[in-house]
Amino acid sequence: MVGDQMKKRFGVSIIGGSGYGAGEMIRLLSLHPDIEVCGVSSRSHVGKGVTSIHSHLSGICSLTFEETLSISTLRSYERSAVVLAMPSGLAVPTLEKLLAEGLPDTTAVIDLSGDLRLTDKAQHERFYPEVPFSPQIRSQFTYGLPEVTKTPAKTRFITNPGCLATAAIMALAPLREFSLEKTVIVDAKTGTSGAGREPQASMHHPSRCADFTAYKVLTHRHEPEILQALGEQFSREHSMMFVPHLIPTSRGEFITAYATLTKPESESSIREHFASFYKDSPFVRMRMTPPRLVDVVGTNFCDICVTVRDGQVCVMSCIDNLVKGMAGQAIQNLNIIFRLPQEHGLMHAALGPV
């Protein structure tokens, strides 16, 4: 059980432990051979057992929600990390407080919110108006999408990518090598757990169970994140139409990206390029047929399929928003920081039918 087992080499403390992302971190790390959760804090649930909120962890986690994390506990490990799993707007003041309290230099920090993802001040203020820009802290953070931005092992602070952004970037990144027409279209489908644990009228089961709708059309904050990750040249040469949709599932995201080639390329050559681009990425599975949500739910895999016809390119990518889109990706980044194989403790198969 987490909290009642032989101590592992690396410890992780989670701040904001009542959300879906925190619950998924605890679930995944309970299976990790070298990293364990050593503390979970939540001001609204202090003194309660973690399983009082995350009941699916009963028999797995014996930890209790604390008011604050224990720095002395973090110091007792070979290396440690703090995962910020809080709502938007809290990452910077929380980190400033931790540093003032003497957070060890060997302790990494991973922020699951979008507070520190955008590096352009104007874009940040447009899409995150409620969050101060904080340039000094922002400059210390690395965007952690290992397959594309190549998380460096020497980094200490990581801003974890958004879930829809992860799937879209992974669909589009290999296409940067080809000449494309200006407009790229990203059609995104996402399950309702991406909106978090707090109840919302639009996520209420009677509203979602048999419905399908778009939201934040051409205004979603993941669009500038996608363009930023794809690089300055891509952003300068292309515009993006990003439209997310809500689907009546809890987990899973399906991206369909459309682009048009300006120079002839065969389907086989583009597929070969994708395979080469991701040859060292253990969590990318290239598919010959369209991917399925059921094959990735509960896993850190990203399944990708590419189809080409008469210069039209269609790339489909599929992830679990709570794993590869959040907690699994954070653990993948931790593995890199702790100099472990990035797939360590994350090579789990999907359930199949769910």
Quote the CA–CA distance of 130 and 190 in Å, as a whole number.
24
Q: Is the per-residue pLDDT at 104 higher than 90?
A: yes
Q: Are 40 and 18 in contact (CB under 8 A)?
A: no
**CB of 281 within 8 A of CB of 331?**
no
Model pLDDT for residues 129-158, shown as the tens digit of each residue: 999 999 999 999 999 999 999 999 999 999
- The total of other beta-carbon atoms located within 10 Å of residue 265's CB is 16
pLDDT at 204: 54
Judged by DSSP in three states, 251 sits in coil
- The closest alpha carbon to 321, from 30, 21, 54, belongs to 21
Distance CA 158, CA 170 (A): 18
163, 302, 305, 318: the catalytic one is 163
Residue 89's pLDDT band (cuts 50, 70, 90): very high
According to DSSP, residue 95 is labeled: H
pLDDT of residue 192: 83
CA–CA distance, 182 with 63 (Å, rounded to integer): 52
What pLDDT was estimated at residue 7? 87
In angstroms, the CA 98 to CA 92 distance is 10
Average pLDDT over residues 34-62: 95
Residue entry with tokens 């390119």? 313
Give the dihedral sign, CA 253/303/55/50: negative
pTM: 0.94
Count how many residues are written for the chain.
354
Domains and CATH numbers, the chain: 10-160+324-337 (3.40.50.720), 164-321 (3.30.360.10)
Q: How many CB atoms lie within 10 A of CB 44?
A: 10
Amino acid 193: pLDDT: 75
Q: How far apart are CA 162 and CA 342, in angstroms?
A: 19
163 tagged catalytic: yes
